[in-house]
Amino acid sequence: MIKIAKLIDGTKISQDIKNEVKEEVKKIKQSTGKVPGLSVILVGENPASKVYVGSKQRGCEEVGIKSESIKMEDTVSTEDVLKEIDRLNNNPEIHGILVQLPLPEQVDKDRVLQAILPEKDVDGFHPVNMGKLVSQQECLAPATPSGIIEMLKREKINLKGMNAVMVGHSEIVGKPTSLLLLNEWATVTICHIETADLKMHTVNADLLIVATGVPYLIKGDMVKEGAVVIDVGINRITKDKASPGLLEWRKEDFEKKGATLIGDVDFLAVEPKASHISPVPGGVGPMTIAMLLSNTLKAAKNLMGIK
Ligand code: NDP
């Protein structure tokens, strides 16, 4: 008998979260006449960044959050961006500020991210929010890691005592996810590019989370029977780079768009072994937007003094 893992449907879970945010935004509007406001700063013409900013804005519209995107030329200086942030920090109608990464080389990313008021830092990248995450204080936590934890909780996966393996240690995904897992009492192993024997760790994982940007890094023989697998990676594969299996599986994508999106997990090989698995697309991706909206609501409530 072929065992099939339960698909963790990030699209459905994120829709539930968006509906909840929408309800709360409505209530705030009824009681105060105000709505949460999000400003997104987009520097330059990076096509992927434009797509991400577009989906963040559509998400805001869907739940009734007021959003604006501030477009800046890719020749701007750090000071120009800092000025804009200062203006937004002082605007009482803006509760969330997000700077779309990556920034052009001449702009000092750290100075920019640290200039955002921690109370308005809906991406959760400010050292104050990172520090609060470490010391388990109430904070704005990064959206993708929060989305991962939220999807696991809503799937009723009890993280306490679980052997969790996080592959990837980026500031955006790997490190904060590891901390959130630890805060839920999982036993966490963090793997990275210098990990001597990746498989030795992954085969023991009850919960395997992968965020490397390496397509199909995790093969079937690297996963334990019954593991919960969360694939964060987003890799665009064009027709000329696709394996025969992928060409067949994603035939429609290749015919329509000439490319498809895959994760860091070899889904077809891992899925029969896992108890639960998140697909790409339709897994962690939509959760990230939902949690950004939820963070904006949280920031707005805190700044408006609403419990
Ligand atoms: P980074 O490139 O910042 O980090 C990748 C991490 O993976 C690094 O820690 C790197 O280690 C590690 N790594 C790379 N290769 C290996 C390997 N062979 N074995 C073990 N570890 C390895 O990427 P991000 O964390 O920002 O993103 C990771 C992926 O997740 C990307 O595909 C990205 O597109 C996707 N993503 C998806 C989101 C979503 O909403 N679904 C949101 C954010 C990201 P080292 O630093 O030591 O080289």
CB 242 within 8 A of CB 195: no
Of ligand 1's listed atoms, the one at least distance from the Cα of 235 is 32
If you measure from the C-alpha of residue 168 to the centroid of ligand 1, how many angstroms do you get, rounded to a whole number? 5
Q: Is 288 in the pocket of ligand 1 (CB under 6 A)?
A: yes
pLDDT of residue 307: 86
Say if ligand 1 is within 6 A of residue 280 CB: no
CA angle 154, 118, 170 (to 5 degrees): 60
For the cut 90, the answer to whether the pLDDT of residue 1 exceeds it is no
Let me know if the fold of 34-117 is the same as that of 142-285.
Answer: yes
What does the pLDDT average to over 31-41? Answer: 97
Q: With 0-12 CB in 10 A as exposed, 13-18 as middle and 19+ as buried, what is 194?
A: exposed
* 83 Cα: distance to centroid of ligand 1 (angstroms): 31
Catalytic annotation present for 123: yes
pLDDT tens column, 136-179: 999 999 999 999 999 999 999 999 999 999 999 999 999 999 99
pLDDT tens for each residue of 187-217: 999 999 999 999 999 999 999 999 999 999 9
**Is 100 one of the annotated active-site residues of the chain?**
yes
168 ligand 1 Cβ < 6 A: yes
Task: Answer positive or negative: Cα dihedral of 100, 101, 102, 105.
Answer: positive
Any atom of ligand 1 within 6 Å of the Cβ of 145: no
Residue 56 bears catalytic tag: yes
Apex CA 104: angle with CA 102 and CA 108, to 5°?
90
For the Cβ of 172 lying below 6 angstroms from any atom of ligand 1, the answer is yes
pLDDT (mean) for 19-47: 97
Among 123, 206, 231, 266, the active-site one is 123
How far, in Å, from the CA of 172 to the mean position of ligand 1?
Answer: 9
pLDDT digits (tens, 9 = 90+) for 50-61: 999 999 999 999
| Domain segments of the chain as ranges | 34-117, 142-285
- CB within 8 Å of 173: residues ≥ 6 apart: 142, 144, 145, 211, 232
Ligand 1 atom, smallest distance to 194 CA: 47
Residue 233 CA to ligand 1 center (angstroms) comes to 7
Rg (CA), the chain: 20
DSSP state of 98: E
Catalytic residue among 56, 66, 273, 298: 56
Confidence of residue 2 (pLDDT cuts 50, 70, 90): low
278 burial via Cβ count (<10 Å: 0-12, 13-18, 19+)? buried
Mean pLDDT over 108-125 rounds to 98
37 lines ligand 1 (CB under 6 A): no
Which atom of ligand 1 lies nearest, measured to the CA of 213? 32
For residue 207, the surrounding DSSP H or E stretch is: strand 207-210
What pLDDT does residue 257 have? 96
Share of the chain above pLDDT 70, in %: 99
| Per-residue pLDDT tens over the stretch 230-257 | 999 999 999 999 999 999 999 999 999 9
pLDDT at 82: 98
Average pLDDT value for the chain: 97
Where does 34-117 sit in CATH, by number?
3.40.50.10860
Please give the pLDDT value at position 57: 96
**Which fold would CATH assign to domain 142-285?**
Rossmann fold (3.40.50)
Task: Indicate if the pLDDT at residue 46 is higher than 70.
Answer: yes
